[in-house]
């Protein structure tokens, strides 16, 4: 039941994010006097619709986006094509233009999109992504200020009893012989009982609070971790507060090879010290002044991941059709994200309290809206960024014409960008299909993310 709740919450959150995006376009289009004939969430067959005023509001079957239909999105052509033989591509452009112009009624006059000032068109087309950014900002504020974020302390939460490879099974114990990969074994030169961790041998206990290392006071886990990582094979004296008394524990961190970037995306490794301590990580509410900086960092990271998607397509194809292991840092489709949301809500309460589930869900929804914000600003037609780029080009062209004492060339003919629109739409359809197949036959699961 909780798994189903997680999936339904994601579907509702996705639908609301799409609706809120289109609401941005709709509100500003109406404010500037444009006539909007349709306001739809989804594509394909209409499941439900109702006319309110001059606009039909509705929901369609495929929840992969939405749209509003503004009268006169494309200007009339500036050529007389009567009697001329048109090529297939030009004929397609003119058919699309004709369909757009058919929406214009006798009383529309200056209510059509292409007759509005360039800056009004930019505001209308930017308002959708801006709504996604605002929604993401609100969600991040709820997470950071309302719930808080896990913040490591200097108090010990867990002590690893032995040292196991990262590839070892999660249920591997410390009394079962394992090989160099962490797999259980029975005999052989590489088969042995895991060695005790330095922290266990030194006598660390849960609830110990680290107050100093080698006499140097420390009040943050980052400071503690930095000293431990920087002392492989070097004895250190850790002072802990235990039951009100200070206790000195001498321990030598084991050398451990880890990825330099901490993610595994780079092959470069470094040697650091390892003890086997896990800190307590209570949720600490953040000041509201920290939200802009946190959101800015997330935008930068999300933009990098968006730019890197084309490079990850070959691996996604191999994962979908050739059985290669799925890259957990690669793109995930709507089905995959909904599945993860369901898995999180399906976890037992002792493993994930409801508060943690809600934080994860809100973060998931905030990430989705951030992606919608960035993706729709890509300056390619028919995305919102393509319309914005067209309006900016129109203004730049008018300025140049004025400086050269020539007449204003008029509205930019967006109909000529229809070939680009079809290419962009085709790429989006192929990517969506590839993600759908990968999310079904080789999904990223919660276990693979941990």
In contact, 45 and 60? CB cutoff 8 Å: yes
Q: How far, in Å, CA of 379 to CA of 388, rounded?
A: 7
Nearby residues of 329 by Cβ (< 8 Å), 6 or more positions away: 263, 265
Q: Determine the number of helices (DSSP H) and then strands (DSSP E) in the chain.
A: 12, 12
Q: How far, in Å, CA of 235 to CA of 226, rounded?
A: 15
By C-alpha distance, which of 343, 143, 156 is closest to 247? 156
Q: How far, in Å, CA of 46 to CA of 65, rounded?
A: 13
Torsion angle defined by CA atoms of residues 327, 330, 336 and 338, in that order, rounded to the nearest 10 degrees: 130
> What region does 150 belong to: left with phi over 0, alpha with psi -120 to 50, or beta?
beta
Phi, psi of 291 (to 5 degrees): -65, -50
- Cis amide linkage into residue 308, ω under 30° from 0: no
Any bridge partners for residue 48, and if so which? Answer: 59
Please classify residue 350 by burial: count the beta carbons closer than 10 Å to its beta carbon, then call 0-12 exposed, 13-18 middle and 19+ buried.
exposed
Selecting among 22, 54, 265, 297, the annotated active-site residue is: 22
Q: How far, in Å, CA of 91 to CA of 86, rounded?
A: 6
Q: How far, in Å, CA of 52 to CA of 312, rounded?
A: 44
Q: What tokens does 190 get?
A: 């590489």
Q: What tokens does 155 get?
A: 């108090």
Q: How far, in Å, CA of 289 to CA of 297, rounded?
A: 14
Nearby residues of 6 by Cβ (< 8 Å), 6 or more positions away: 341, 342, 343, 344, 345, 346, 357, 361
Phi, psi of 356 (to 5 degrees): -65, -35
Q: How far, in Å, CA of 340 to CA of 449, rounded?
A: 10
201 is catalytic: no
List, by residue number, the catalytic residues: 22
């Amino acid at each position: 039941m909780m798994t189903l709740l997680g999936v339904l919450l994601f579907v509702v959150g996705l639908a609301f994010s799409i609706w809120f995006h289109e609401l941005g376009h709709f509100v500003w289009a109406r404010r500037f006097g444009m006539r909007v004939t349709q306001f739809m969430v989804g594509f394909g067959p209409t499941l439900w619709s109702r006319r309110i005023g001059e606009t039909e509001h509705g929901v369609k079957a495929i929840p992969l986006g939405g749209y509003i239909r503004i009268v006169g999105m494309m200007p009339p052509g500036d050529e007389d094509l009567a009697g001329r033989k048109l090529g297939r591509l030009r004929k397609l452009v003119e058919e699309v233009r004709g369909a757009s112009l058919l929406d214009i009624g006798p009383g529309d006059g200056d209510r059509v999109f292409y007759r509005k000032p360039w800056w009004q068109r930019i505001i209308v087309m930017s308002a959708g992504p801006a709504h996604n950014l605002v929604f993401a900002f609100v969600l991040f504020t709820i997470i950071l200020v309302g719930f808080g974020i896990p913040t490591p302390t200097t108090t010990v939460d867990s002590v690893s009893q032995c040292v196991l490879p990262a590839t070892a099974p999660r249920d591997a114990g410390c009394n079962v012989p394992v090989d160099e990969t962490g797999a259980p074994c029975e005999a052989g030169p590489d088969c042995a009982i895991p060695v005790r961790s330095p922290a266990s041998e030194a006598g660390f206990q849960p609830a110990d609070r680290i107050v100093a290392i080698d006499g140097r006071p420390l009040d943050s886990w980052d400071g503690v971790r930095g000293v431990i990582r920087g002392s492989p094979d070097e004895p250190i004296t850790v002072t802990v507060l235990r039951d009100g008394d200070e206790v000195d524990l001498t321990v030598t961190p084991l050398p451990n090879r880890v990825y330099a970037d901490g993610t595994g995306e780079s092959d470069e490794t470094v040697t650091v010290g390892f003890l086997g301590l896990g800190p307590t990580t209570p949720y600490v509410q953040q000041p509201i002044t920290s939200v802009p900086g946190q959101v800015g960092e997330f935008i930068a990271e999300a933009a990098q991941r968006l730019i890197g998607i084309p490079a990850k397509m070959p691996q996604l194809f191999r994962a979908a059709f050739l059985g290669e292991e799925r890259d957990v840092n690669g793109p995930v489709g709507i089905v995959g994200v909904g599945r993860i949301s369901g898995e999180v809500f399906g976890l037992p309460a002792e493993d994930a309290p409801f508060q943690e589930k809600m934080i994860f869900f809100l973060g998931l929804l905030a990430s989705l809206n951030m992606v919608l914000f960035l993706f729709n600003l890509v300056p390619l037609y028919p995305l919102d960024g393509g319309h914005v780029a067209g309006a900016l080009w129109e203004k730049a062209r008018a300025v140049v014409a004025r400086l050269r004492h020539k007449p204003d060339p008029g509205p930019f003919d967006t109909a000529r960008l229809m070939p680009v629109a079809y290419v962009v739409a085709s790429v989006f359809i192929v990517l969506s299909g590839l993600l759908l197949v990968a999310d079904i036959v080789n999904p990223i699961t919660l276990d693979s993310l941990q």
